[in-house]
């Protein structure tokens, strides 16, 4: 049953990924739609950051992740490289947990 | 790039800088993959199925959602449904990157589809449009290899690692996405889209199933367009690193 569910998830995921590359690769979209697709990652990545920072099984809430992501935000503002941002985010969250918070 | 030969050299020499950008992303993905491998085996997948699930699905967030449902006592099909809902975002992501992809064979496009992940799309679109395809593909393959190998390591050797949260790995995800988001935050339209995306996602989280808030955040990009009709010629292009 688990294997069937994995296959369903795999085929469904590829189908959704394929929408763009299979249908519209190499075609010019109308300018407004082009600008929209350029902005889509901004809205969605921001939504992913927000939900992964404050959403847990019990709903919205503040825990050690908020401290980690806040530190990561400072690193991003200072133009730290990608790896440093991730390490700082994880490190600060882990430290806060070790101190008994969140 | 005045002459053909110099153009050729520039293209050949491009691989290294693109890889330099992709490798740290791959390293971060490997850390998530490690914790996914551990978690998947804890949730009842055999190490082999856990590893193959990363090959077949290649979408980390949905895989975590899948094993999360299993760990919470849900059925495998409920887990698959939660994962699919989360992956709806790949429809607009795929469309966003597709316009930079060359018109190529069906097989090539099927492979490009497989490579559509958050990281490959974000890095593909952030930078000069001329090299978007290369950034997308190099990042996509880097993430693919990192994700699959690290899942295997976590699944087969994972019980030695212990609880991933102790190392703050759950904060590594949003920190990584924040770093990927950075180029957009340096443009006005990007900032407006990001803020609206956050508000929409958090506002909808208490009242919708997981995945829906992320998909609905696309409206943030639509509204940002509305509010900022003066077109910067190529938003992502100007957000070059």
Q: What is the DSSP letter of B164?
A: G
**A contacts of B87 (beta carbons < 8 Å):** 12-13, 16-17
Helix axes A64-77, A82-98, angle to 10 degrees: 150
- Give a yes or no: residue B233 inside a domain: yes
Sign of CA dihedral B216, B148, A7, B209: negative
Mean pLDDT, range B154-167, rounded to an integer: 79
**Considering only alpha carbons, which residue of chain A is nearest residue B120?**
A41
- Give a yes or no: residue B238 inside a domain: yes
- The reply to whether B22 and B127 lie within a common domain is yes
- Give a yes or no: residue B110 inside a domain: yes
- Give a yes or no: residue B139 inside a domain: yes
Distance (Å) from the C-alpha of residue A95 to the closest C-alpha of chain B?
A: 8
Q: Give me the residue from B27, B97, B175 closest to A89, CB to CB.
A: B175
- Give a yes or no: residue B155 inside a domain: yes
- The reply to whether B38 and B110 lie within a common domain is yes
Q: Residue B197 — φ and ψ, nearest 5°?
A: -60, -45
Tens-place pLDDT, residues B77-130? 988 988 898 888 899 899 989 988 988 899 999 999 999 999 999 999 988 989
Please answer yes or no on whether B184 and A31 come within 8 Å at the CB atom. Answer: no
* pTM of the model as a whole: 0.78
- Give a yes or no: residue B171 inside a domain: no
Sign of CA dihedral B103, B29, A75, A65: positive
Q: Give me the residue from B95, B171, B179 closest to A93, CB to CB.
A: B171
Q: How many CA atoms lie within 13 A of A78 on its CB side?
A: 10
Give, rounded to a whole angstrom, the gap between the first and last alpha carbons of chain B: 20
Residue B99's domain comprises 4-164
What is the predicted pLDDT for the residue at B232? 47
- Give a yes or no: residue B176 inside a domain: no
What is the predicted pLDDT for the residue at B32? 83
- Chosen domain end from B134, B164, B194: B164
Q: What is the DSSP letter of A55?
A: E
Q: What is the dihedral of CA A88, B239, A35, A26, to 10 degrees?
A: -100
- The reply to whether B80 and B136 lie within a common domain is yes
Domain count, chain B: 2
B211 token code pair: 């995945």
Nearest to B172 by CA among B71, B26, B39, B31: B31
- Chosen domain end from B164, B196, B216: B164
Please answer yes or no on whether B104 and A23 come within 8 Å at the CB atom. Answer: no
- Give a yes or no: residue B170 inside a domain: no
* Lowest model confidence (mean pLDDT) among A37-41, A85-89, B108-112, B135-139: A37-41
């Amino acid at each position: 049953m688990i294997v069937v569910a994995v296959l369903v998830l795999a085929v469904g995921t590829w189908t959704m990924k394929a929408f763009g590359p299979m249908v519209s690769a190499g075609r010019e979209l109308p300018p407004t739609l082009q600008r929209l697709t350029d902005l889509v990652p901004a809205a969605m990545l921001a939504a992913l950051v927000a939900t992964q920072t404050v959403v847990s099984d019990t709903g919205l809430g503040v825990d050690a992740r908020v401290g980690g992501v806040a530190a990561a935000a400072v690193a991003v503002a200072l133009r730290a490289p990608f790896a440093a941002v991730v390490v700082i985010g994880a490190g600060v969250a882990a430290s806060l947990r070790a101190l008994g918070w969140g | 790039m005045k002459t053909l030969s110099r153009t050729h050299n520039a293209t050949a020499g491009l691989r290294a800088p693109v890889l330099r950008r992709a490798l740290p992303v791959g390293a971060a993905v490997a850390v998530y993959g490690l914790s996914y491998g551990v978690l998947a085996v804890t949730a009842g997948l055999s190490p082999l199925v856990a590893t193959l699930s990363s090959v077949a699905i290649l979408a980390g967030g949905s895989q975590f959602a899948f094993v999360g449902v299993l760990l919470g006592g849900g059925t495998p099909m409920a887990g698959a449904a939660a994962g699919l809902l989360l992956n709806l975002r790949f429809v607009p992501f795929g469309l966003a990157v597709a316009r930079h992809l060359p018109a190529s064979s069906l097989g090539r496009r099927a492979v490009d589809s497989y490579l559509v992940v958050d990281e490959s799309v974000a890095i593909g679109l952030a930078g000069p449009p001329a090299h978007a395809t290369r950034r997308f593909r190099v990042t996509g393959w880097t993430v693919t290899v990192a994700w699959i190998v690290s899942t295997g390591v976590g699944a087969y050797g994972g019980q030695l690692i212990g609880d991933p949260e102790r190392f703050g790995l759950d904060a590594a995800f949003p920190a990584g996405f924040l770093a990927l988001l950075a180029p957009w935050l340096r443009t006005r339209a990007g900032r407006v889209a990001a803020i609206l995306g956050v508000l929409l996602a958090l506002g909808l989280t208490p009242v919708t199933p997981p995945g829906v808030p992320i998909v609905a955040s696309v409206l943030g990009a639509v509204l940002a367009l509305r509010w900022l009709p003066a077109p910067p010629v190529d938003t992502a292009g100007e957000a070059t690193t």
